[in-house]
Amino acid sequence: MKKLMMALIILGLTATSWGHSPLKLDMGLSTSGLEPGWQSFFSTDSGATLFGSVKVTISGASGWRNRTSGDLNGIPNEALWRDFVYSSSNLIITIEGLKPLLKHELSIGAFDIDSKTATPHSADWKVDGATVLSTSFGIPGVPLATLVPSADRNYLKTGYAYSDADGKIVIQSYPAADNGGGASAFLNALVISPVVWAYEPTPEDGTQGASLTTTLSWKTGVDPNNPTLPNPEIGMHYLYLTNEPNFINTTPIAIPAGSPVQADGSHGPLSLSFDKTYIWRVDEGVYVNGVLSGPDDPATITGKVWTFSTLKSIPVINPETLPGNSKIPAGDTAQFAVEFNSLSPVTVTWYKDGQAIVPDSRVTIDTTQAKSTLSITDAGLADEGGYVCEIVNAGGSAQTDPIHLAIARLLAHYPFEQNGNDAVGVNHGTAINGMDYAAGIVATDGQSWAADPNGANYFEVPAATAYPRAGFGNGLEEFTYSFWIKRGTYGGYGRIFGNFNNESNTAVQLNVTGAGALGCLVRQDGGVNRDLNTPTGTVTEDQWHHVAFTFDSVRVSCYVDGIARYYMDAFPMSSFSDWQYPMALMARNVRGSVNEYYPGQADDLRIYNYAMDREGIAKLYYDVTGTAPCIYGNPEFDVSGPEGKSDCVVNIYDFAEFAKAWLESGLFVPEN
């Protein structure tokens, strides 16, 4: 009864025309309540006439749900976000009964209360193959508790599409490129509005740096019966211009629409101020029974809200050209260029870790009125850090966020030559419960030992110095983890190293199971992780194998004995926190509790802050074994070798295999 009464009320208010009022559908079970002005829509409504002649049909739905959550109490449109329809494939919405060939604004709300996740669940919504809007919930790095709709995060996304000659719009969802998994589409709300208000504003919505003598202009609202012409019933434009977001105490400027009604309206030029954001709207007064509607008349067509910002008196840094963090080999040149706009002459200062940089023969700063470039030749470890560019003019100053420089290098190296010392730094590990050693495979300074923790011992590296750790260039955002193992026989997991901060935050671990599977997990704050696991039997028992995991910002790869065996695509992560507990080598430290000790033997653990290419990994293997791995794949004619099987080389063994059938022929020979 509640749904029927709401439908009758809405229809009664708009019986004369659907031209000015949006159709607002709340998707889901009616048990969660209904926001004022919204109409309930459940699976039984699909294909029913909802609003005058308008009919909405949903296909491809996997289910309809209602959620309850204290997280939503008190937020805007609370009831709206408790219901939704979802699809594990593509959700298709068909809207019929619209005015033909008329532009419509389509708004879709998407949020799943139970799936509050920092991994985005996104969908692109397309009409005739073109994406008109994208929905998403879940934001990388945002704390889970905040992933609910709010005043500034309402998950209602808007796009535009034209109805076809039959008055129909078909909009279909597809998983977006950043979809973190789960269903491909969620639909909490659908709003359909014919675009009959003023449109195409100048300056465009969101414009930055508008002139102080800007003229405002717009297109007059269209005639719903002939969208190629302005609405002949419009008699007055009511222009609101203010700095107040809700137009409180703002009196509109009445601007005649012309007779006949003109296709364009304008006002200006204006006298504006520096450093201001202006908010404006154009409402369309219409004639009803020969009487022109006023600014507060319900018949007046309310326009969209637009904003623009005027020129800045202070410098404005161009965000689109800002340099990103840089990681380069030692000895290369690092260069950071910052572009900006300024109305008056500038003074530019570059800082490294808070200290002003003084140029010298190796460090230069080249500055013009629009750009400043910092160059560092022969860069080394002393140059690692965060660089900030500050631009100052007569109106004020602006500065960049820190831009980080790191040297691509070996961060830590544990040869395990009867100790847990770091051979390239001070990140030494202390043996806990003692440590046994066995014959290793990698010779270091004439010695060849390996750690033999026996599933009971491990090394502890202080949290403040342990690699990998948080920070650009510290081996979590990109890396190569290289080590040698002889796994032995045991059940369950053994860890080469591991550390977990409290809750679902920064974590890392390398694992070798008793069944010969390998794994690498790196997790950032908020629970988003990269987790590659190989099949059982990847490494054999009681035999030395070289293992390397790499991540280059787009792919995690696992190499075994110099050859890439497994990989998974992944996305960049950078939201890491400092370690709260010491790093465990030959085990893992889970929030202060050390467990899953490694029962096998391990040698030559190396941690790099960049992803080695396949040639680099192959060299690590070759330098120890003298065997060149087949990293490019077997040549086309490599069919044999010394042991009767392919050996990655085309030579006499392959020729001999071909020669076995030399001069054999299957040609037909006629009898004489």
Report the CATH number that the domain containing residue 53 is assigned in CATH: 2.60.120.430
Does residue 399 sit in the same domain as residue 536?
no
pLDDT at position 66 is 86
> In this structure, is residue 116 part of a structural domain?
yes
Does residue 102 sit in the same domain as residue 245?
no
CATH classification of the domain holding 566 = 2.60.120.200
Does residue 390 sit in the same domain as residue 492?
no
Percent of the chain with pLDDT over 90: 68
Segment 208-225 mean pLDDT? 94
Query: pLDDT tens-digit profile of 504-545?
Result: 899 999 999 999 999 999 999 988 888 999 999 999 999 999
pLDDT at position 7 is 30
pLDDT at position 230 is 95
pLDDT at position 146 is 62
β-pairing verdict for 207-210 and 306-310:
parallel
Q: Given pLDDT bands bounded at 50, 70 and 90, which one contains residue 141?
A: low
In angstroms, the CA 340 to CA 315 distance is 7
- The per-residue pLDDT of the chain, averaged, comes to 90
Residue type at 180 in one-letter notation:
G
> In this structure, is residue 458 part of a structural domain?
yes
Does residue 618 sit in the same domain as residue 653?
no
Model confidence at 17: pLDDT above 50: no
Segment 572-599 mean pLDDT? 96
> In this structure, is residue 59 part of a structural domain?
yes
CATH classification of the domain holding 395 = 2.60.40.10
Segment 342-371 mean pLDDT? 96
Q: Which domain holds residue 344?
A: 326-407
Does residue 14 sit in the same domain as residue 130?
yes
> In this structure, is residue 253 part of a structural domain?
yes
In angstroms, the CA 370 to CA 311 distance is 15
> In this structure, is residue 417 part of a structural domain?
no
> In this structure, is residue 487 part of a structural domain?
yes
Model confidence at 4: pLDDT above 50: no
Of 161, 194, 227, the residue that ends a domain is 194
Model confidence at 16: pLDDT above 60: no
Tokens of 430: 């202390």
Q: Given pLDDT bands bounded at 50, 70 and 90, which one contains residue 145?
A: low
pLDDT at position 8 is 26
Segment 213-240 mean pLDDT? 94
pLDDT at position 116 is 62
pLDDT at position 119 is 66
Does residue 27 sit in the same domain as residue 102?
yes
Does residue 182 sit in the same domain as residue 302?
no
Does residue 182 sit in the same domain as residue 207?
no
> In this structure, is residue 526 part of a structural domain?
yes
Where is average pLDDT lowest: 111-120, 198-207, 272-281, 647-656?
Answer: 111-120
In angstroms, the CA 219 to CA 49 distance is 32
> In this structure, is residue 20 part of a structural domain?
yes
Model confidence at 434: pLDDT above 80: yes
Model confidence at 3: pLDDT above 60: no
Render the burial of 598-629: b for 16+ CB within 10 Å, e for the rest.
bbbbbbbbbbbbbbbebebbbebbeebeeeeb
Does residue 169 sit in the same domain as residue 244?
no
Of 194, 211, 236, the residue that ends a domain is 194
Of 151, 178, 194, the residue that ends a domain is 194
Number of domains in the chain: 5
pLDDT at position 117 is 61
Where is average pLDDT lowest: 50-64, 174-188, 287-301, 404-418?
Answer: 174-188
Does residue 44 sit in the same domain as residue 111?
yes
CA-nearest of 124, 96, 127 to 110 is: 124
Does residue 93 sit in the same domain as residue 139?
yes
Does residue 242 sit in the same domain as residue 188?
no
Q: What is the pTM of this model?
A: 0.67
